[in-house]
């Protein structure tokens, strides 16, 4: 997935200080190597890793490109690519079909058999000769869709309604900038609800940033609603079927860039979000950051997790590699969906080789994380 998603940046007031320290320890371990483990040349890690345990207890992970093949195995650290495509992308030139480039970006299951998915769908008008500008970024229109599986994630089909989050206009409107909703976080539960952050570049009346969505049941595609600052009331429609203009969703500070993953530390009842950032007023070093919270709408200021050049940089100036697509997953999590951490959190991310201003070989790696919480601040 193209990582040139740059949201409008603004200096934000700093929330309360984080009461936890998260840091990498140990070395990187390679889970997947695009040169050694691929079924086809397109099988490169290209999205934040998402995982769940299927009905048999085996782990299923989605982390690849837009011809979505899962990784499968007995646990998070022993996975192999399944060559069967679970969700294909047709590169369809008709934007109303929502089948250009589709990425399984988030999953949720309560039984390991019936799996809901949020799909990041990119429509690239320049590749279909339907764009009025020459800049490829300005031809990009993005939507978040709902899909589901009844066979444990072996195959996915569109849900109804299909659209979860969309700009209230069609792809030919406001060309010249990337538009829409992008990059869902993982899905994560709190009480009777399941949540996900979804980023937007905004439009007139809608601020850019990350909106918090909530559902009573992710398998019910029509149940998703976004936070408006007071309640979860905002519903986004398919602009090819409706001209309804939605209310604005409230963006959540301090997240200027897409929220990569959210987990709950069950020992300390603390939310932890990880995200990737360019250099900004609140993130002075490029790399991976985290924020913490006691509730999902009030987060700490960002703290650096791992410094490194990312795809937000000029690839001609980054050196031999970049880091991308962080996620936190704990193999000891009691959750089927790995949305909690217990005693062994791992940071999963990609290391992408760069040569001649182009990306090449990609490694999906993981390394241990250490979490220290100030009990006096609880």
Question: What pLDDT score does 374 carry?
Answer: 80
Looking at 1.10.287.110, 2.30.130.10, 2.60.120.10, 2.115.10.20, the CATH number of the domain 20-377 comes to 2.115.10.20
| Range scoring the smallest mean pLDDT among 4-18, 78-92, 155-169, 286-300 | 4-18
The 10s digit of each residue's pLDDT in 198-237 is: 999 999 999 999 999 999 999 999 999 999 999 999 999 9
Residue 2 has pLDDT above 60, yes or no: no
Tokens coding 75: 């646990």
Question: What pLDDT score does 343 carry?
Answer: 86
The secondary structure of the chain, three-state, reads CCCCCCCCCCCCCCCCCCCEEEEECCCCEEEEECCCCCCCCCCCCCCCCEEEECCCCCEEEECCCCCECCEEEEECCEEEECCCCCECCCCCCCHHHCCCEEEEEEEEECCCCCEEEEEEEEEEHHHHCCCCCCCHHHHEEEEEEEEEECCCCCCCEEEEEEEEECCCCCCCCCCCCCEEEECCCCCEEECCEEEEEEEECCECCECCEEEEEEECCCCCHHHCEEECCCCEEECCCCCCCCCCCCCCCCECCCCCCCEEEEEEECCCCEEEEEEEECCCCCCCCCEEEEEEEEECCEECCCEEEEECCCCCCCHHHCCCEEEEEEEEECCCCCCCCCCEECCCCEEEEEEEEEECCEEEEEEEEEEEEEEEECHHHC
Over residues 87-116, mean pLDDT:
99
Residue 102 has pLDDT above 70, yes or no: yes
The 10s digit of each residue's pLDDT in 341-362 is: 998 999 999 999 999 999 999 9
The CA distance from 229 to 209, in Å, is 14
The 10s digit of each residue's pLDDT in 261-289 is: 999 999 999 999 999 999 999 999 999 99
Pick 9 or 329 by higher pLDDT: 329
Q: What percent of the chain lies above the pLDDT cut of 70?
A: 94
Q: Which residues are 52's β-sheet partners?
A: 60
Residue 55 has pLDDT above 90, yes or no: yes
Over residues 115-127, mean pLDDT:
99
Question: Do residues 357 and 377 make contact, with C-beta atoms less than 8 angstroms apart?
Answer: no
Reported confidence tier of residue 376, pLDDT bands at 50, 70, 90: low
| Lookup result for tokens 């937007």 | 200
Length of the chain: 378
Reported confidence tier of residue 6, pLDDT bands at 50, 70, 90: very low
Q: Strand 287-295 vs strand 20-24: parallel, antiparallel, or unpaired?
A: unpaired
Residue 171 has pLDDT above 50, yes or no: yes
* Residue 180 backbone zone (phi > 0: left; psi -120 to 50: alpha; other: beta): left
| Lookup result for tokens 């769908």 | 121
Over residues 93-114, mean pLDDT:
99
Rg (CA), the chain: 19
Question: What pLDDT score does 9 carry?
Answer: 37
Reported confidence tier of residue 19, pLDDT bands at 50, 70, 90: confident
């Amino acid at each position: 997935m193209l990582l040139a998603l740059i949201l409008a940046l603004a200096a934000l007031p700093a929330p309360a200080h984080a009461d936890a320290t998260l840091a990498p320890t140990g070395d990187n371990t390679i889970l997947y190597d695009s040169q050694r483990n691929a079924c086809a040349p397109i099988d490169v890690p290209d999205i934040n890793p998402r995982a769940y345990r299927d009905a048999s207890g085996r782990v299923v992970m989605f982390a690849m490109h837009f011809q979505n093949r899962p990784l499968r195995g007995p646990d998070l650290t022993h996975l192999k690519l399944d060559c069967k495509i679970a969700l294909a992308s047709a590169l369809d030139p008709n934007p109303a079909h929502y089948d250009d480039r589709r990425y399984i970006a988030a999953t949720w299951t309560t039984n390991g058999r019936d799996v809901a998915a949020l799909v990041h769908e990119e429509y690239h008008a320049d590749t279909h000769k339907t764009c009025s500008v020459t800049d490829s970024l300005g031809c990009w229109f993005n939507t978040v869709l709902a899909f589901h599986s009844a066979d444990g994630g072996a195959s996915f089909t569109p849900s109804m309604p299909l659209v979860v989050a969309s700009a209230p206009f069609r792809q030919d409107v406001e060309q010249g900038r990337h538009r829409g909703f992008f990059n869902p976080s993982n899905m994560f539960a709190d009480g009777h609800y399941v949540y996900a952050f979804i980023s937007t570049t905004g439009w007139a009346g809608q601020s850019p940033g990350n909106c918090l969505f909530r559902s009573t049941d992710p398998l019910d595609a029509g149940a998703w609603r976004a936070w408006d600052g007071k309640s979860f009331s905002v519903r986004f429609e398919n602009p090819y079927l409706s001209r309804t203009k939605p209310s604005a969703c409230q963006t959540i500070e301090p997240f200027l860039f897409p929220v990569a993953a959210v987990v709950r530390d069950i020992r300390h009842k603390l939310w932890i979000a990880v995200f990737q950032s360019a250099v900004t007023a609140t993130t002075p070093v490029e790399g991976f950051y985290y924020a913490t919270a006691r509730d999902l709408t009030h987060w700490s200021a960002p703290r650096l997790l791992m410094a490194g050049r990312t795809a937000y940089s000029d690839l001609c100036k980054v050196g031999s590699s970049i880091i991308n697509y962080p996620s936190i997953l704990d193999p000891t999590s009691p959750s089927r969906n790995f949305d909690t951490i217990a005693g062994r959190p791992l940071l999963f991310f990609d290391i992408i080789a760069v040569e001649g201003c182009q990306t090449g070989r990609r490694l999906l790696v993981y390394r241990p994380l250490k979490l220290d919480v100030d009990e006096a601040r609880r």
